[in-house]
Structure 1
Amino acid sequence: MGGHFLLLGGGFIGQALARRLTELGKKVMVVARNAPPHALPGVIWRKSDLSDAALLGDVLPDCHAVIHLATTSTPGTYSREPLREAEENLRPLLQLMHALDSYPTIPLVYLSSGGVIYGNPETLPVTEEHGLVPLSYHAAGKAAAEHFLGVFARQGHRVIILRPSNAYGPGQPFKTGFGVIPTLLEHLLRGTPMEIWGDGETVRDYLYIDDLVEACLKALHHPASGTFNVGSGEGHSLNELCRLAERVTSRQLELHYRPARGGDVKAVVLDVDRIRREMGWVPQVDLEEGLRRTWTKLLDEA
């Protein structure tokens, strides 16, 4: 089979995965709308819209595997714009599937979202068998993508769907609405107040970036289609997360609580037994150590 690993999406996760693949001596091409702030040695970067059919036709013939990491939304974006969610996230995926139909031996790894796709699970930790209960158009888009990919897999293509929890770590940029950990660490660094929607008792599963990258690598070599949760297997409330960050940084965080938003999941913790059994993957970095590494990197760059 061909040469390079094709990464669709060059954000925080894409850059981390590209670096790791090049460290392993792999050829890597990244297709993304925006170039990274710093060049990644050994990585071919193609700035393009992901629905560019001509580009896909150009790069797929020499492709070893495809990893779909791209998304333009969070549960808070496009909250009243379902058509925009479909156009910007779902349509490019369908375009990719159409192009891949001519290359049945190329495996596809798709990053869904374990943090939003289950809604408010009836039991915790939640397994992959739990029904999909999206509470936002972002989550509905992920659910729709999984259903399309399920049909694609039943037609004979190898599709591995990963449902990661809330990924974080060094290099994750501070951007309003994207990632609570970079947000709270940025406020700790600047000494500015942070807004919390609700009472701070919402529970999430936080996954260190190196552990997520390792799960992606194992998925690339998995011999069969399947869907897998990828998380720490532990839940922490937002209030607990803030206290832990204060302990790690030895700084005080000023919190301003605001009314809760309707589309937010109350609690989700992922059961990761399936990926442990079938791929031998287990998370290595706990939340306190991950926060410490992320804070150290942030101080170095400040």
Structure 2
Amino acid sequence: MKILITGGAGFIGSNIADLLIEENHEIVIVDNLSQGKRENVNENARFYKCDIVNAEELELVFTIEKPEIVIHNAAQIDVQTSLKKPSLDAEVNIKGTINILECCRKFGVRKIIYPSSAAVYGNPKYLPVDEEHPINPISFYGTSKHTPEHYIKTYSRLYDIKYTIFRYANVYGIRQDPKGEGGVISIFIDKFLENKSPIIFGDGNQTRDFVYVKDVSKANLLALTNGDNKICNISTQKQNSINELFATMKDLLNSNLEAIYKQERNGDIKESSLKNEKAHKFLKWNTEYSLKEGLKETCMYYKEIYDVKNEVAVGIHD
């Protein structure tokens, strides 16, 4: 299949692209490189530097490529940015998605796969959170990720475009940028390798459901042929506290650093865990990585990069 991935130079998008290329799919990547990196793009993919907010640029890519399926990863994903710049957040996440859907309509795209977020649920009324949980976001990011779900379902009804909507838990793994999209795991690793104490906002007892990016990529692969017109949580259905996460990473990286605790931030949820039975049922998907296995692979990936950079720096100064 020919598949167009928006945000394909970013963390999750590039991992998905790699897996789909391994499975012999033809991959087209659209990314404006505001957060993604050109070096993340698989050499076997065709790349267009293009902003999804620019409807004319986007339509030109669709005119040339005419993809069968779109995986729409491009987004503004930072909660704090959404609170400071709600207009920017809405422009990228809502208007950008409408531009994608218009191209899907005009060029006969068969299906769109859209990653929403656990942020749409807000503070959970019960755990684990299932897909029928009330929608009550506590950040503009949660709102801007949920609104496109309605557009997607309406486009599906009007124009017969199939969809699978994912609500991701906290995704982590290789290529997550600690200075850009800023997942807590990549930020902690960056601090540990720089021998600086990681910062924990709040008391560290807040919990998250951490799912490895390779498991997320597998869900996208399965959605090419399964889960039509379904909304599925993608998660491990397990809770891990930030304190537990810190201790595990400290051990994996053989560090003596202690965390610095600061006041909790607005828009941060206290507890989170997503039920994943629908993903099992409709996608035949299961997680393959435990948190420790995923963390070990991720930590080793970043440590190798850090060691190489240090060797180069030493060589330059020598």
What TM-score do the two structures reach when normalised by structure 2? Answer: 0.89
1:114-263 equivalences in 2 (<5 Å): 114=118, 116-155=119-158, 156-175=160-179, 178-222=182-226, 224-263=228-267
Residue 38 of structure 1: how far off its partner (Å): 4.9
Cα shift at 1:106: 1.7
Specify the alignment match of 1:4 in structure 2.
Answer: 2
**Secondary structure of the residue that 1:243 maps to in structure 2?**
helix
Return the letter of the residue paired with 1:139.
G
CA distance in 2, matches of 1:296, 1:200: 24
Q: Distance in 1 between matches of 2:40 and 2:95?
A: 29
Q: Deviations over 1:82-118 (max 9, x none)?
A: 222111221111111122222445200001112x111
Please tell me whether the aligned partners of residues 160 and 219 of structure 1 are also in contact (alpha carbons under 8 angstroms).
yes
Superposed counterparts of 1:99-114, under 5 Å: 99-114=103-118
Moved more, 136-145 or 34-43: 34-43
How many angstroms apart in 1 are the aligned matches of 2:217 and 2:93?
22
User: Where in structure 2 are there 5+ consecutive unaligned residues?
Assistant: 307-318
1:17 — aligned with what?
Answer: 16
Structure 1 residue 224: deviation in Å? 2.1
Task: Say whether the 8 Å CA contact 1:120–1:265 is kept in structure 2.
Answer: yes
Q: How big is the shift at 1:32? A: 0.4
* Matched residue SS, 1:45: strand
CA contact (8 A) 1:4 1:28 kept: yes
Q: What residue is the counterpart of 1:56 in the other structure? A: 58
State how far apart, in whole Å, the 2-side matches of 1:30 and 1:298 are. 24
The 2-side partners of 1:170 and 1:281 are apart by 21
Return the alpha-carbon distance in structure 1 between the equivalents of residues 134 and 184 of structure 2: 26
Cα distance in 2 for partners of 1:177, 1:52 equals: 22
The C-alpha deviation readout for 1:18-67, integer Å capped at 9, x for no partner, is: 11111111111100001523552211110011133334333435212000
Residue matched to 1:43:
45
Separation (CA, whole Å) in 2 of partners of 1:58 and 1:177: 28
> Structure 1 pair 223/127, CA: closer, same or farther in 2 (3 Å)?
closer
Asked if structure 2 preserves the Cα contact closer than 8 Å seen for 1:112 and 1:142, the reply is yes
CA distance in 2 between partners of 1:220 and 1:154 (Å): 19
Determine what percentage of the aligned residue pairs are the same residue. Answer: 28
Higher mean displacement: 267-276 or 164-173? 164-173
User: After the TM superposition, which of the residue ranges 251-260 and 210-219 deviates more from structure 2?
Assistant: 251-260
Give aligned pairs, total. 299
User: Does 1:79 find its partner at 2:78?
Assistant: no
Q: Is the 1:187–1:253 Cα contact (8 Å) retained in structure 2?
A: no
Say if 1:39 and 1:271 are closer, same or farther in 2 by CA, change over 3 A. closer
Q: Distance in 2 between matches of 1:147 and 1:87?
A: 16
1:64-89 per-residue CA deviation (whole Å, 9 max, x = no partner) reads 20000011231111314322211122
**Counterpart check, 1:269 vs 2:268:** no
Q: 1:242 to 1:223 in 2, by over 3 A?
A: closer
Give the alignment's Cα RMSD to 1 decimal. Answer: 1.6
Cα distance in 2, alignment partners of residues 171 and 94 from structure 1: 27
SS in 2 for 1:101: helix
Q: Which moved more, 1:103-112 or 1:90-99?
A: 103-112
Instruction: Look up the SS of the partner of 1:207 in the other structure.
Output: strand
Aligned residues of 2:197 and 2:258 also touching (Cα < 8 A): yes
Q: Which moved more, 1:92-101 or 1:231-240?
A: 92-101
Aligned partners of 2:266, 2:76: CA distance in 1, in Å?
21
Rate the CA distance shift 1:190–1:90 in 2: closer, same or farther, 3 A: same
